[in-house]
Amino acid sequence: MKHSSEIKYVKLNVVRLKEGKRGQNTELLIEFFEKINGKVKGLNGYAIMDNLGDPKETIVLTLWETKEDMDKYYGPENKVLSALVLKTKPNFERVPERKDYVISKLDIY
């Protein structure tokens, strides 16, 4: 388990899904992250969160050691991520929204 001090950046991905596609999409995301676990430089964890009040929204957080690693991973040259987007694209109501954050304080108990 990584120490919270090693996590400095977060990429927020807000996914808006077509009706009835959340379960399938979440399974694809879980499968994807299990496959890349420990293989991506600087990626220290992730969270897949299905909105309790809105069955069409899923949020994915990826947790990073450096901004450079995060930017490289989300760059257009990442064929692994591009393949995931291509696979999940039919589930999207619209293109996912991505935002970058720097962590001021993170405590996980």
pTM: 0.91
Query: What proportion of the chain, given as a percentage, has pLDDT over 70?
Result: 96
Containing structural domain, residue 13: 4-102
107 in any annotated domain: no
The CATH number linked to 39 is 3.30.70.100
pLDDT tens per residue, range 23-72 = 999 999 999 999 999 999 999 999 999 999 999 999 999 999 999 999 99
Residue among 60, 69, 52, 54 nearest 7 (CA): 69
Give the span between the Cα atoms of 1 and 64, in whole angstroms: 14
- pLDDT score for 2: 57
Give the span between the Cα atoms of 2 and 53, in whole angstroms: 31
Output phi, psi for 65, to 5 deg.
Answer: -80, -45
Number of domains in the chain: 1
